[in-house]
Amino acid sequence: MSQVSAAFFVGGRAFAAPVDEEIAWIPATSLIPAFRSGEISPVAVLEAQIRRINRLNGKVNCITYQHFDEALAAARESERRYRSGIPRPLEGITVAVKDEYAVKGWVTTMGTLLRRNAPPEQADGPVIERLRAAGALFPIQTTVPEFYSWVTTATRLWGITRNPWNLQYTPGGSSGGSGAALAAGFATLALGSDMGGSIRIPASQCGLYGFKPPFGRVPTSEIVYETQGPLARTFDDLNLFTQAMVGPHPMVHSSLAPRLDFPKTYGPIEGWRIAFDPASGLAPLDPSVRDALDRGLAQLRALGASIEQVDLEFRASDFQTFNFGLFSTAMGALISQARRDPEKLTPYVRELIEKGSHLGPDEQAAAETLLARYNRRVQEQVFQRGCRALIMPTLDVRSRHVV
């Protein structure tokens, strides 16, 4: 049995892990200089993460397909590049890929039995193309709820994905497999996507950093609700990963705005006005969540910021309008696929089909009106009042049971 180390820290947390797996947890921003110096090799990190996958994924169940041989070959190429002094920005860094991204030769199942035998992708999508050119490695695909349409990750095709912090709880969704893989030390970075919380919810559930970039910053699609984005275990890794994803791409019209470089460091916030909405119209907060928010706000006050509570009038009753609008876009094609064989679907997708049988331009118009009202309210209550940032809870509870 492997010897255990009890003093390994990531993001301020202590982990107990076999000695030969410790490097699986090292942040990308620390790995890159270690790769350059030869202190650590990309192959060694990948092999440590594969050991963790082989040991633990039977319990976590966050992986659809493993691509270890392909990733190991790429890791050896990364070692050669470091020895030759020509590494790329993410050279040798492992990335868990959500079962949504097109990767040449891989099958994208969307978490549904209806796509179990889907043909392999013919080309890399824009983000994968960009990350591959930056030297990233892709060892695993990660689980999603069926058609990305729920906030937990459980399907008839892949089963239940569990939170590695506590296997009785969910990692969230729809990027739940990516969140679980990252929290379990199966990869150094992870890819998600977000329409209504699909990066932010797993980040909250799994103790990670997650970022939904503004529409068009990452080349994704023409659906204004949607963007692909990063998950990471540290803020610096999130920043590094974001920088590698953003910018125009000729194949995605919505991404043609000029590239925005996100700062690596930030100055003092003394004198800032920061808006805070506890989102009481969405759900009552669990005391533990409210306590964490209060401690965070107290820290901001200690740094010299003033906190102003606002009510942006976000209401739980608006969710159906938002959801119907979403599935009145090109996302509605997923419903058309699902109708082909409803007996193979998970219950939450069958319910979506039943409720969404009438979707069309009226529902899309209602959602656009709702989003315009939300945007106007945020501008009026936050930024036009001179506040520099808005803070809200991601979820009302710490996590949810899956059994």
98 is catalytic: yes
Considering 41, 198, 221, 255, which one is annotated as catalytic?
A: 198
- The per-residue b/e assignment along 20-59, b for 16 or more CB within 10 angstroms, e otherwise, is ebbbbbbbbbbbbebbeeeebbbbbbbbbbbbbbeebbee
State the Cα torsion 87-121-113-149 to the nearest 10°.
Answer: 70
Contact 278, 249 (CB under 8 A): no
Strands (E), 71-194: 94-98, 137-142, 154-155, 159-160, 189-194
**Gap between the Cα atoms of 298 and 122, Å rounded:** 51
Secondary structure element (H or E) that encloses residue 18, with its range: strand 13-18
- Residue 198 annotated among the catalytic residues of the structure: yes
Q: How far is CA 372 from CA 117, 257, 286, 366, in A?
A: 40, 21, 30, 10
Contact predicate 110/223, CB 8 Å: no
Dist CA 230 CA 192 (whole Å): 6
Q: Kindly give the pairing relationship between strand 273-276 and strand 389-391.
A: parallel
Buried b (16+ CB within 10 A) or exposed e, 277-302: bbbeebeebeeebeeebeeebeebee
Q: Residue 197 has which token pair?
A: 């919380």
Q: How far apart are CA 92 and CA 95, in angstroms?
A: 10
How many alpha carbons lie under 13 Å from residue 86 in its C-beta half-sphere? 5
Largest distance between two CA atoms of the chain:
62
> Please, are residues 363 and 329 in contact by the beta-carbon 8 Å criterion?
no
Catalytic residue among 78, 149, 174, 178: 174
- Locate all alpha helices (DSSP H) within 199-345, ordered by sequence: 200-206, 235-245, 287-302, 319-326, 332-338
Single out the catalytic residue among 78, 98, 149, 328.
98
Contacts of 226 (CB under 8 A, 6+ apart): 193, 194, 195, 215, 220, 331
- Which class for 333: exposed (0-12), middle (13-18), buried (19 or more C-beta within 10 A)? exposed
Provide the annotated active-site residues: 98, 174, 198
